[in-house]
Structure 1
Amino acid sequence: MTTATTYGPTLPTYNGRPDFALAEALSKVPAKVQQKAQANARDFEAMFINTMFSQMTVGLKGDGSFGDTVGTGVWRSMLTEQHSQMIAKAGGIGIASDVYRSLILQQAARS
């Protein structure tokens, strides 16, 4: 999320450009709040990915990862949840960084 540039040692970027608004907001928000915002943003992204994956597997029946048994739906939902959490922790699809930026800007505006 941050990169070294000619503007400073670690200036956050947004869409490949220096994000001065986020840098200013980060200076106003305590580190503990930043960590919580980052965790919340990652959790939100995992929930979004889980919803997407769940919709992709709604109509699946028959032979698959778990066959066609009574517990198939339960196991499939658990697997989908784990996959979505792993994807979010590995960098996700880009939603978490935007959510994090929004949360930090809102926190800075309150202080």
Structure 2
Amino acid sequence: MQRPVDPNDEALRAVTPAFCDYTQQLLFEEIWERPGLSKRDRSLITIAALVAMYRPDELGAQLERGLDNGLRREEIAEAMTHLAFYAAWPSANSAVSKLMEVLDARDRASREGWPA
């Protein structure tokens, strides 16, 4: 399974410094900060795009970001149900599995007193 891109990951930076810089500066500091959409809405759009393109390796990190940005579990689940009919059932099915993994991990962290 592919790791989510963390532009602060020194091992990744050693191999692809420009990629890390673009991710941090262009994507996170510019695109995600534009005033036209809330971070919550950007998260929903990003999750939908990743489900539609069948990108499960990237989806986990974006599900976490979406929850942190105010999306409710039920909203993400409903989006995935809706996408099953527009993006393909297998894509949505895989996305639901990834959502369950993320939610289980967050629930465990919460029970153990760690920030979710």
The answer to which structure has the higher strand fraction is 1
| TM > 0.5 | no
* Structure with the largest fraction of helix: 2
> Which has the larger Rg?
1
Higher relative contact order (CA 8 A, sep 6+): 1
- Report the TM-score, using the length of structure 2 for normalisation: 0.30
